[in-house]
Amino acid sequence: MREIRFDRFGGPEVLTLHSDAAPPEPQPDEVLVRVSYVGLNPLDYKVRDGSSGMSRDLQLPAGTGREMAGTVVSAGSDLDDAELGSRGLMPGTRVFGMRAPGDPRGVAAELIAIGADDLAPIPDEIDDEDLPRWAGLALVGLTAIATIEDTARIEPGQTVLVHGGSGGVGQLLIPMALEAGASQVWATGRAANAERIRELGAVPVPYDTGDWEAEMRRATEGRGVDVVLDTHYHSTFLPSLDHIAENGLLVTLPTLADLTPAHERGVDAKVPRIKPGRDRLDRLVQGIRAGRYPLEVSRVLPLDQIAKAHSLLEHGHTRGKLVLDARA
């Protein structure tokens, strides 16, 4: 089968498509899945270049990618037909999901073995043409739930600023913050993506054609916002400290973010931790079906263009999700 691997840390060029990889054998509690599409995330290039905490104990050569959509082929010895049926994971079922945080294996391959608890069925009424969006749903969706509910714990009436409102996670943070009762959500992004941010329910704050800090001071009359949700960190973390209301909270998504500057100024700052689970995947299914989470896929590339895809990720400014077609 075909599989993408890298044997050393470095730039996108270290990623290699192998056509002679051995198909995996599922463990007793795992499902064998034929992958259709692979969702890409900034975490992928941070693992590849060695800057992620996940890189520390990674055994090389290693695969890449954390989330995907595909079709169940078979299952391990602990998962008989009755068990698979109760989970909705019978062979032939289309599924989406992501590797558990402690599972370092990649998903950018034609076949993968993955924990049954890390998958959920895709509704029958979903067209195959919509599968790329499902491939990009699990990681950003679970991240958004962990950010809004477990970490920020947004309450009715609070005001929120999202950095990166048109990105993959941002496109779910905005509607989830509004669902939680936020009275007003602002979101930074490029001016070209302002209309998309409006569609999601937030007030766009362009950073490339204006001064987002000046705009936030004007919009909040200098009070600041109750919660900042920062998907960028490097260029936005320190400036955001000046735009948090008294007793407010800053949540930054990169797991290796240094929160010291915030704590030294007496600002509460936290990093969310993903909690995987079928119940949360099913909640994402409900949100997609109801039209509450209109996650967007900006581009689908063939598997052999993985290096180009990683370059696009690293340069940033990606709108919505980048996805690989594992069949092409």
For 137-176, write each residue's pLDDT tens digit: 999 999 999 999 999 999 999 999 999 999 999 999 999 9
114: Cβ–Cβ under 8 A, 6 or more apart, which residues?
30, 31, 33, 97, 99, 103, 107
127 phi, psi to nearest 5 deg: -70, 150
Q: Which amino acid is at 30?
A: E
Has residue 116 got a pLDDT over 90? yes
Confidence of residue 254 (pLDDT cuts 50, 70, 90): confident
First to last CA, the chain: 13
What is the CATH architecture assignment of 3-137+295-325?
Alpha-Beta Complex (3.90)
Look-up of token digits 């007496």: 266
Has residue 318 got a pLDDT over 90? no
Has residue 291 got a pLDDT over 80? yes
Residues 249 and 269: their CA atoms lie apart, in Å, by 6
Quote the tokens at residue 267.
Answer: 């600002």
Confidence of residue 181 (pLDDT cuts 50, 70, 90): very high
Torsion region of 305: left, alpha or beta (phi above 0 gives left; psi -120 to 50 gives alpha) = alpha
In Å, how far are 205, 207, 281 from 191, measured between CA atoms? Answer: 8, 7, 32
In Å, how far are 23, 41, 115, 118, 285 from 125, measured between CA atoms? Answer: 30, 27, 25, 22, 12
Q: What's the confidence (pLDDT) of residue 186? A: 98
Residues 305 and 298: their CA atoms lie apart, in Å, by 15
Query: Within 13 Å, how many C-alpha atoms sit on residue 108's CB side?
Result: 28
pLDDT average, residue stretch 43-54: 92
Has residue 317 got a pLDDT over 90? no
Q: Determine the CATH number of domain 141-270.
A: 3.40.50.720
pLDDT average, residue stretch 282-293: 94
Confidence of residue 258 (pLDDT cuts 50, 70, 90): very high
Residues 213 and 207: their CA atoms lie apart, in Å, by 9
- The predicted-structure confidence for 182-201, as pLDDT tens digits, reads as follows 999 999 999 999 999 999 99
- The predicted-structure confidence for 35-44, as pLDDT tens digits, reads as follows 999 999 999 9
With H, G, I as helix, E, B as strand and everything else as coil, classify residue 206: strand
With H, G, I as helix, E, B as strand and everything else as coil, classify residue 227: strand
Q: Where are the domains of the chain?
A: 3-137+295-325, 141-270
